[in-house]
Amino acid sequence: MTATDTAPRTGLRAVLPHGRGVVTFGLSNLVSALGTGVFYPYTLLFFPALLGISLTQVGTVLSVTALVALPGMFWVGRLIDRLGPRTVLIAAALLRAAGFIGYVSIRHVAAFALFSVLIALCNRAEQAASPALAVALAPDGERNRWLALARTAFNAGIGGGALLGSALIVGGETALMWLGLANAAGFLVAGLVLWPLRTPTVPPADRAKLSRGPWRDGAFLVVVGFNSVLWMVALAVETSMSAYLVGTLGAPAWLAGTLFAVNTGLLMVFQLPLASLLDRWGNLTVLLAGTLLTAVFLVAMALGGALGGTALVVLLLVGMVIYTAGELAVAHARYALLTDLPPPSELGSFMAFNQVAVGISGALVPFVVAALLDSAPAGLWWLMAALTVVTTVGVLAARPLLLARGQKQ
């Protein structure tokens, strides 16, 4: 090893991930997220306009098909282990491109349901295979930076795509068709970008280290439980914040948009720099700190009804900065734990199992949010805060088990 190889990195080099294929990996994630960002915010405008069905029918079909797709993830996990995450990512991208072309070509509810199952399965497949690909490609010591790069590209792509979508949406049904086609194009390009990438194979010695599956790995199941609860909290914040602020607290409409902008901007700017900083601490410490920071914002939202005007704005802006810091810490720790605990030869199966758990917890969010916003709006935020506290207690209780698996305190 040369002196150049061992020299400490400074400045931007200390923040950015390194290794063969890093640009290709980041670019594919960015392009895929751009296409999604163009379409996702306008989903509930797209389908009723193209299919001529009600918003309730669209929501029901999307919820049911998302759940129907989940059992397929066990099969997808085995494919990731046998064929490699790159192959699964390419296939998922191309199938989603075909699915969105199908949406605008075959305007029938039955076709809508079938394509929705396919796309829901491929979305979950990407979320399982992308971390697995990062782990496969990242050199020693670079894994968390590669994972942070994927999250940074996703946030940047979603934000940029949403802005592009807002420009395309003017023009009625024809414009909505372009949103679907733009998403298809994003997936097609993302798959083609990955095509020339080659990934290392798992050494035979590692293939011999087989577990009995994720459902029998106690430490991994504990982390999956933490991840599912924290994902539920994050999704509840995303889906209910605007309705709560405007509909319940009577806050100005621009406040919710500003809070989302602050969150997205901070995630894009600080995801990679904080990955390098957080690597200095153990994943358990980072996870604990992140859940507690998240709880601060949730409590602020619950108490927001007692305030108004400038005081409410200041409270929530400060709370959102703290929440975003917690979100960054939680994302860093949970992805590190989820990718570090499984045996390398079964990483795909373990990540797919996690996606099933996340999918089930995510399916509960619309019902919980709707019920509490109707009956006890502040109770929604107290419940989410309680879940973060329960997670914190769970991490403390599980610390001996996770330390025994080689995790740093």
pLDDT, one tens digit per residue, over 172-213 is 667 778 888 888 999 999 999 999 888 776 555 454 455 567
Place of tokens 């409410």: 312
Reported as type and span, the H/E element at residue 254 is: helix 253-278
Number of Cβ atoms within 10 Å of the Cβ of 52: 10
At residue 357 the predicted structure's pLDDT band, cuts being 50, 70 and 90, is very high
Is 50 exceeded by the pLDDT of residue 3? no
Nearest residue to 145 (alpha-carbon basis) of 341, 308, 336? 336
At residue 2 the predicted structure's pLDDT band, cuts being 50, 70 and 90, is very low
Residue 406 or residue 135, greater confidence: 135
The CA distance from 327 to 322, in Å, is 9
The CA distance from 283 to 223, in Å, is 11
Handedness of CA 331, 332, 333, 336 (dihedral sign): positive
pLDDT, one tens digit per residue, over 66-91 is 899 999 999 999 999 999 999 999 99
How would DSSP label each residue in 318-379?
Answer: HHHHHHHHHHHHHHHHHHHHHHHSS-GGGHHHHHHHHHHHHHHHHHHHHHHHHHHHHH-HHH
Classify residue 19 as left (phi > 0), alpha (psi -120 to 50) or beta.
left
pLDDT score of 1: 35
pLDDT, one tens digit per residue, over 321-343 is 999 999 999 999 999 999 999 98
The CA distance from 140 to 142, in Å, is 6
Is 50 exceeded by the pLDDT of residue 226? yes
